[in-house]
Amino acid sequence: MTPQNYVQEKAAGSGSSFYYAFLFLPPPRRAAITAFYAFCREIDDVVDEVSDPGVAATKLAWWRQEVARAFAGTPQHPAMQALMPHVADYDIRAEHLLAVIDGCEMDLQQSRYLDYTGLQRYCHLVAGVVGEVASGIFGRTEAATVGYAHQLGLAFQLTNIIRDVGDDARRGRIYLPVNELKQFDVKAQEILNRTYNERFTALMRFQAERAHRCYDEALALLPECDRATQKPGLMMANIYRTLLREIEAGGFQVLHQRISLTPVRKLWIAMQTNWRGR
């Protein structure tokens, strides 16, 4: 299997909403974003699939060394072998990849966030930096587009947190800020016990409203001259926001299930965004 085939299978097999947006890119940009996404999946999988924190930390340390090797010209992993031919064209730097590793490593070091400010730091590393790299691959001409990409990444991550509250809790992580749990009088044990009540619904509504504000703020930051090239990001925004609205409409039933959109629906939303341009 070639490195290119490896990252293609990694991206397609993830079932992620991102994959559907990649389909509309020209081949060189599609190859670059697919390789970068595969790298991000590899790092994320270390934390999600390795149960022993010590082993996970060792694997992340190996990935740090792999980034150094790759930028020195000797990548070993197929994801890095597929990515490295594109780094110069799209200004993908070692610091970007290391930031993604830093973000995932935070999951090994802490499972709670005292407030939204602390959570934002985590989101910046695992989503904002990813958005920045992606926007460069899609094609940007204005510096302001970087701000848009970071804010959109934050919106995506907040949506993920809302969707995955139950799954994350069963892994020992609750990303909802501690001070906001207290504000709405929701106990961590209630989340672990899959307890739905008016207090939990109010807390989740608060989270969803913030995510919607982030989407609105991101779109307001996108310069008009970069709107056409950033269309894949807009596709992902429409897919993710549709998911968020589905969760809202269903009363935030996220403790016992992982709500998702069907592949056909994701593709349809991406196609509509491609036609409309927004």
d(CA 227, CA 223): 7
Percent helix, strand and coil across the chain, each rounded to 5?
75, 0, 25
**How far apart are alpha carbons 111 and 91 in whole angstroms?**
33
Q: Out of 109, 133, 153, pick the residue that ends a domain.
A: 109
Q: 142 and 231, same structural domain?
A: yes
The model's pTM = 0.93
User: 109, 135, 165: which is the final residue of a domain?
Assistant: 109
Last residue of a domain, one of 62, 92, 109: 109
Q: Which helix (H) or strand (E) holds 51?
A: none
- Asked if 189 and 158 sit in the same domain, the reply is yes
185 pLDDT tier (thresholds 50, 70, 90): very high
Q: Tell me the per-residue pLDDT of 216-267, one tens digit each, with 9 for 90 and over.
A: 999 999 999 999 999 999 999 999 999 999 999 999 999 999 999 998 999 9
Domain count for the chain: 2
Environment class of residue 218 by beta-carbon count within 10 Å: exposed (0-12), middle (13-18) or buried (19+)? buried
Whether residues 249 and 179 share a domain: the answer is: yes
Q: Give per-residue pLDDT as tens, 136-153.
A: 999 999 999 999 999 999
Same domain for 61 and 124: no
Based on the domain organization, do 141 and 262 belong to the same domain? yes
Same domain, 31 and 105: yes
**Whether residue 115 is found in the same domain as residue 105:** no
How far is residue 249's CA from residue 262's CA, in Å, rounded to a whole number?
Answer: 17
Q: Please tell me the predicted confidence (pLDDT) of residue 14.
A: 65
The DSSP call for residue 84 is G
Give the domain range for residue 130.
Answer: 111-277
Q: What is the CATH number of the domain that holds 238?
A: 1.10.600.10
Cα 6 to Cα 41: distance, rounded to the nearest angstrom: 12
Residues 166 and 37 in one domain: no
pLDDT single digits (tens) 89-144? 999 999 999 999 999 999 988 889 999 999 999 999 999 999 999 999 999 999 99
What pLDDT, on the 0 to 100 scale, is given for residue 21? 84
Q: What average pLDDT is seen over the chain? A: 94
